[in-house]
Amino acid sequence: QVQLVGSGGGLVQAGGSLRLSCAASGLTFSSYDMGWFRQAPEKEREFVAAIIWTWTGTTTEYYSDSAKGRFTISRDNAKKTVYLQMNNLKPDDTAAYYCAAVLRGGGSSYYTERTYRYWGQGTQVTVSS
């Protein structure tokens, strides 16, 4: 059974940093594209970042406008873990963060929830003023 377990959330002051982790099991991790989404109370779930395989065997990282320049997505295939390094956090970053996985070639839009087959349980990030 596929499981994605997110961790690393917490309370941080504006301008601080956190690194989220998402450990995968029950799948061949290197065969999957990975993404991060977030959802704040009373708001829609939104795309944050994705790391996508190319046909040449490299990965390409994509970010939302709000994440670009502040967040970095990475993966460790040996540990079957995807990370989201978040720097210069802002109160608007407060949300539950979810990792997601989809087989390479299994979706068409890395920024769309419907693309992803498997989801983590979410880890809460709270940024205070």
Query: Is 72 a residue whose pLDDT tops 80?
Result: yes
- Record the tokens describing residue 67, joined without a space: 């994440």
Query: Is 73 a residue whose pLDDT tops 80?
Result: yes
- Record the tokens describing residue 24, joined without a space: 């995968």
Query: Is 55 a residue whose pLDDT tops 90?
Result: no
Residue 124 DSSP one-character state: E
C-alpha 110, offset from chain centre: 11
Query: Is 112 a residue whose pLDDT tops 90?
Result: yes
Q: What is the mean pLDDT of residues 74-93?
A: 98
Residue 26, pLDDT score: 96
- pLDDT tens-digit profile of 84-111? 999 999 999 999 999 999 998 765 699 9
* Residues forming beta bridges with residue 98, ordered by sequence position: 37
Dihedral of alpha carbons 87, 45, 4, 91, sign: positive
Place 126 in a pLDDT band, splitting at 50, 70 and 90. very high
Dihedral of alpha carbons 125, 33, 4, 121, sign: positive
Residue 107, pLDDT score: 56
**Alpha-helical regions (H) of the chain:** none
